[in-house]
A and B are shown apart, each in its own frame.
Chain A
């Protein structure tokens, strides 16, 4: 994978996003290199920041005092967060590769993986807000980042996979649908674990 697509490419996602996706479409990066150079480092950012913020200040979900968690649970949560990030990015890439046949977008798996990482990058970098673990602050920062990511998805996908923008629109929407379903599954699983007695003590 050319350097143009590693972490160093991230600032250009703001300044010249389409150039980044064009560069991606012109290279055929190998999956494992993308994984180690882009996906893994990106996936580490939010959990590490959440750990630092949470142990220093405690999470404010609202409702009184900040929630100070013992270092052990904090570590567990951050680990789970990390695995969720890796799973989210790799599974999105897998879904993208799987759908590609329908939309005439078959490319090397590495391309799909890099696409997933680049599209998610704004939200991941905005997780810097985790250092101030207050829900409201996090929302203020993460939402514009999310909108930027959506924009990158719709504009960047056809560029990176070299398909017409109209087909790209269909595929991007299908991917957004997958992501929504994945997020809601994560919520459901988390909540079901809580009621099964795993996680915070809740009275059910």
Chain B
């Protein structure tokens, strides 16, 4: 029994200090003959992720400012809203999000399998080629290359490069799993594995296109089919990357921080499969009242409602795991971020199913309510949990204590305030837009002109700009704090535990 369903207590292994002494002790125990985890690649990915978060959020702040002062593109194409907005989404999702996921996946898969990475050179290739790809991709977006599919804007040469890197990622990750010394596969690896497989599938299908020139290609799909494929991609990218991938992070780092096993390991596995099954069907909720068959829309809506169950099962699991570990909050500033990220995860996964109801979506669609929903997930969940994971990870990777706990605490309040203000501003803007756009007067004409409504959004957009600045300043504090923590240090060497059962 023990071997088939991992008892929560052995998965993941309890926190193991990686300071010099502990390593020496491990080595003295001598079981795994000089084997070392490959952690330097994780350190670098952490640094890259921080850099992308700042680049991406700065672009976000700039586009937020352009919505308040439309002329600050100064007539330059590369500063225009359309290009910078795309840079923003690509830098935060693929630069920040994927680097963070790749780094934490490399770090945690070794520790949950008790073996060093399979093909460490390939892991380095993955990490560096990904950075080069996102960097060149970002520049190509600024130059105006754009495939026209949201979250898949990069043109076909990049699509091919992404495929190569992703296959390498899969080889390293599943190779490590294959040579594991612990029989059960810990739940975080299910989520990271799901991320790798599903994104590969989505990317391959959605990017099928006929190249015309180096910088232009046309999708193989047309019309309503193109729309369905695109949102099958778009929604599952949200599902398996921004939600599932980060749940992998949650399932590794939360029990580590808390120093206790997941509240219900069985629930986490059941939720994984329910989540994987239902997410795949939910894409059409992005296409309500569009030229796709009505039954497809209804299917998307029903599956979105079903999704609430596995999403909140995970929420309960997380909340109950920390509830018993509150004493840890005294010594661990980073646990707070994870606690807060759970609250926003709960919000985003409740709000999403609600917005997929057709009679709600008919008002919310096209409004800033959607943008608010996006950022309750993006800031409140994705960014917050990554911050929590990094505040935990970097001191361990560097074998030093965090440079300043006080700065981390200040960052916590900045992150909370920034996220709250962002969401509230967008709720206000979204509901007003929905009402004003659709209001009819006595003779059935629209009551307000689009232009006037747009102009009246200025206060909300100004508030969002302030919120973004607050959030960004927190991230800057964090980057400084982590840089000082690692200053002049190298990644400490850590080994798999000697007692690992074969």
Binding site for B on A (CB under 8 A): 61-64, 102-103, 135-136, 139, 143, 146-147, 150, 164, 166-167, 169-170, 173-174, 176-177, 180-181, 183-185, 187-188, 190-192, 194-196, 200-204
Are A173 and B343 closer than 8 Å at their CB atoms? yes
Count of inter-chain pairs, beta carbons less than 8 A? 133
Are A188 and B355 closer than 8 Å at their CB atoms? yes
Are B456 and A177 closer than 8 Å at their CB atoms? no
Whether B435 sits at the interface, judged by CB under 8 Å, is: yes
Chain A proximity mask over B407-420: 1 for CB below 8 Å, otherwise 0: 00000000011001
Residues 281 to 317 of chain B near chain A (Cβ within 8 Å): none
Are A177 and B323 closer than 8 Å at their CB atoms? no
- Quick one: which of A63, A146, A188 contacts B456, CB cutoff 8 A? A63
Q: List 7 A-B residue pairs with CB atoms under 8 Å apart, sorted by A's residue number.
A: A63-B448, A64-B448, A135-B432, A135-B459, A139-B428, A180-B347, A190-B431
- Quick one: which of B343, B351, B362 contacts A176, CB cutoff 8 A? B343
Whether B212 sits at the interface, judged by CB under 8 Å, is: no
| Shortest beta-carbon distance from A197 to chain B in Å | 10
Residues of chain B lying within 8 A (CB to CB) of residue A167: 326
- Quick one: which of A170, A184, A194 contacts B347, CB cutoff 8 A? A184
Q: How far is the CA of A116 from the CA of B266 in the complex (A)?
A: 36
Are B440 and A166 closer than 8 Å at their CB atoms? no
Whether B374 sits at the interface, judged by CB under 8 Å, is: no
Q: A63-B436, A166-B326, A170-B323 are in contact. Are A194 and B363 (CB under 8 A)?
A: yes
Are B446 and A135 closer than 8 Å at their CB atoms? no
Q: How far is the CA of A37 from the CA of B431 in the complex (A)?
A: 34
- Quick one: which of A174, A181, A196, A204 contacts B438, CB cutoff 8 A? A204
Residues of chain B lying within 8 A (CB to CB) of residue A181: 346-347, 350-351
| Shortest beta-carbon distance from B15 to chain A in Å | 18
Are A188 and B354 closer than 8 Å at their CB atoms? yes
Are B347 and A177 closer than 8 Å at their CB atoms? yes
Residues of chain A lying within 8 A (CB to CB) of residue B8: none
Which are the 7 A-B pairs with shortest beta-carbon distances?
A: A62-B456, A177-B343, A202-B438, A166-B329, A63-B448, A136-B459, A195-B359
Q: A150-B420, A169-B329, A195-B363 are in contact. Are A61 and B456 (CB under 8 A)?
A: yes
For chain A, what secondary structure do more than half of its interface residues adopt (helix, strand, loop), or is it mixed?
helix
| Shortest beta-carbon distance from B273 to chain A in Å | 25
- Quick one: which of B360, B421, B423 contacts A192, CB cutoff 8 A? B360
Residues 451 to 497 of chain B near chain A (Cβ within 8 Å): 452-453, 455-457, 459-460, 463
Q: A62-B452, A181-B346 are in contact. Are A173 and B339 (CB under 8 A)?
A: yes
Residues of chain B lying within 8 A (CB to CB) of residue A62: 432, 436, 452-453, 455-457, 459
| Shortest beta-carbon distance from B60 to chain A in Å | 20
Residues of chain B lying within 8 A (CB to CB) of residue A184: 347, 350-351, 354, 427
Are A187 and B431 closer than 8 Å at their CB atoms? yes
| Shortest beta-carbon distance from A164 to chain B in Å | 7
Are A61 and B339 closer than 8 Å at their CB atoms? no
Are A177 and B432 closer than 8 Å at their CB atoms? no
| Shortest beta-carbon distance from B71 to chain A in Å | 21
| Shortest beta-carbon distance from B465 to chain A in Å | 13
Whether B164 sits at the interface, judged by CB under 8 Å, is: no
Residues of chain B lying within 8 A (CB to CB) of residue A200: 435, 439
Residues 311 to 347 of chain B near chain A (Cβ within 8 Å): 319-320, 322-323, 326-330, 336, 339-340, 342-344, 346-347
Residues of chain B lying within 8 A (CB to CB) of residue A196: 359
Are B323 and A102 closer than 8 Å at their CB atoms? yes
Residues of chain B lying within 8 A (CB to CB) of residue A201: 439-440
Q: A135-B459, A192-B357 are in contact. Are A166 and B346 (CB under 8 A)?
A: no
| Shortest beta-carbon distance from A204 to chain B in Å | 5
Residues of chain B lying within 8 A (CB to CB) of residue A187: 369, 427, 431
Residues of chain B lying within 8 A (CB to CB) of residue A143: 421, 424, 463
Q: How far is the CA of A177 from the CA of B424 in the complex (A)?
A: 14
Q: How far is the CA of A183 from the CA of B344 in the complex (A)?
A: 13
Are B320 and A102 closer than 8 Å at their CB atoms? yes
Q: How far is the CA of A170 from the CA of B323 in the complex (A)?
A: 7
Are A202 and B326 closer than 8 Å at their CB atoms? no
| Shortest beta-carbon distance from A100 to chain B in Å | 12
Residues of chain A lying within 8 A (CB to CB) of residue B328: 166
| Shortest beta-carbon distance from B262 to chain A in Å | 16
Q: How far is the CA of A184 from the CA of B435 in the complex (A)?
A: 16
Whether B207 sits at the interface, judged by CB under 8 Å, is: no
Residues of chain A lying within 8 A (CB to CB) of residue B146: none
Are B346 and A177 closer than 8 Å at their CB atoms? yes
Residues of chain B lying within 8 A (CB to CB) of residue A150: 416-417, 420
Q: How far is the CA of A43 from the CA of B252 in the complex (A)?
A: 44
Residues 361 to 394 of chain B near chain A (Cβ within 8 Å): 362-364, 369, 376
Are A166 and B327 closer than 8 Å at their CB atoms? yes
Are B362 and A204 closer than 8 Å at their CB atoms? yes
Are B459 and A139 closer than 8 Å at their CB atoms? yes
Q: A62-B452, A166-B326, A166-B330 are in contact. List 18 more A-B contacts (CB 8 A).
A: A61-B435, A63-B449, A102-B320, A102-B323, A139-B463, A143-B424, A150-B420, A173-B340, A174-B343, A177-B343, A180-B347, A183-B427, A191-B360, A191-B364, A191-B431, A191-B434, A194-B363, A200-B435
